[in-house]
Structure 1
């Protein structure tokens, strides 16, 4: 068997999340169907992480074992051909050893959340950003985000249906930046950690949006974190602003 790492870009809007589901369209299911047509038999893929319904990816990583020794360019081209017209694309393909595992070999996941503050409806990027209408304070959100960095019990920012074994995680980065956007402003949340809890990033963003809008003080983020209670979390942001932006490995197969 020959193992290949795949770097995958997708628009999550048409799918019920990454994970394969019976009788429901999923990103994993579509890719496995395409690989099955290429290989002539069913193949399963393993990914660095699962994304929820409506969440997008710029650089999801998965791996697949193939009987045939493929040229990586030809393999990616063949899979992309059979993925049409799905909004899914293989943007990188590399041959790896059996020791590589898309999920267990990963040392970092990076997410970007895109939130746009403006009154007018979003036209060209509808479904690709989360729109809010109140003007937001970048400085307040940056100050609030500092309280979330480091090793904590993140029960407050964890979905009640999260299947993680522990709520304790280390958050390595949560940077908030402001960018020009027609008729308003775009705020980007750059979030990095080895792994995340279910809905953790969207819970962060929803709470920080309340801080930016002036409904919470930056110090309230610390108090809510320390409450270790899901009821202390602010609203959970919409999924369509969230992007899996990258997966880090000690030996990056795509470099």
Structure 2
């Protein structure tokens, strides 16, 4: 038995089965989820830990490829494996090997052929803004610090309501996406606030059946335009109808974005 508390396995052939991992991470130190040869990534450190325990070369599928600096509370990862190590021991062993900013929250059996990307029904993201004159200290890598005046969260919520439903979100997509369709359904969008760290913490929480490249960050940048009074709430509907990325607000910085949860059948 190794130092991680998981017994090493032999190389004999075993039946294949699928597992579902729920992963949380602070993305500040990583160049995103997806493995890169010369940059630290969340997939990279997870693959290293998996190899050490199972002696397999894993083929992970993730519910979404978060970008550099983006965080997750409930990223879902699927893996096909022949390992006979029971899930609770895999959970303990992986967490013993992973760095402090990556945590496996659950390891569960998954249906045959489980694919974390294609099988996802809904995803929820949260974008965090800290509005106030004093820079955040402890949350500096987890919020967009907005220091250019107070944001009106009621108006932001009114603007966000225009995005709920099934729409073509081409105007809220950054270039570089490989998606064949820009039509998506947002089922819920809320804007809430509370006092925090010398200012006001504003959370923009969005649930939908899928998201385009940088879509949530562009939603945040667009709603901030409404919140600061530069645009009326109904301008969001005009942006949506235009299908023109140049009409929307800026792409908010990555550190404020969290993948909260992913739902499956």
Global fold match (TM > 0.5): yes
Q: TM-score, normalised by structure 1?
A: 0.95
1:16 to 31, 37, 58: 31
Residue 158 of structure 1 corresponds to 173
Residue 123 of structure 2 corresponds to 109
For residues 80 and 91 of structure 2, the distance between their equivalents in structure 1, rounded to whole angstroms, comes to 14
Q: After the TM superposition, list the runs of 4 or more consecutive aligned residues in structure 1 that deviate by more than 3 angstroms.
A: none
Q: Show structure 1 runs of 5+ residues with no match.
A: 251-255
2:203 to 174, 188, 192: 188
For residues 46 and 174 of structure 2, the distance between their equivalents in structure 1, rounded to whole angstroms, comes to 27
Task: Please say if 1:125 is aligned against 2:144.
Answer: no
For residues 182 and 127 of structure 1, the distance between their equivalents in structure 2, rounded to whole angstroms, comes to 13
Shift of 1:15: 1.0
**What do you get for the CA RMSD once the two structures are aligned?**
1.1
For residues 154 and 99 of structure 2, the distance between their equivalents in structure 1, rounded to whole angstroms, comes to 43
Residue 149 of structure 1 corresponds to 164
Shift of 1:211: 0.6
Q: Show structure 2 runs of 5+ residues with no match.
A: 1-15
Q: TM-score, normalised by structure 2?
A: 0.91
For residues 30 and 109 of structure 2, the distance between their equivalents in structure 1, rounded to whole angstroms, comes to 28
2:44 to 18, 26, 29: 29
Aligned length: 249
| Higher alpha-carbon Rg | 2
Shift of 1:8: 0.2
Give the SS at the match of 2:90.
Answer: helix
Give the SS at the match of 2:27.
Answer: coil
For residues 116 and 76 of structure 1, the distance between their equivalents in structure 2, rounded to whole angstroms, comes to 34
Residue 228 of structure 1 corresponds to 243
Task: Please say if 1:43 is aligned against 2:58.
Answer: yes
Which whole-Å deviations, capped at 9, do the CAs of 1:160-202 have from their partners, x for residues lacking one?
A: 1111111111111111111121321111111001110000000
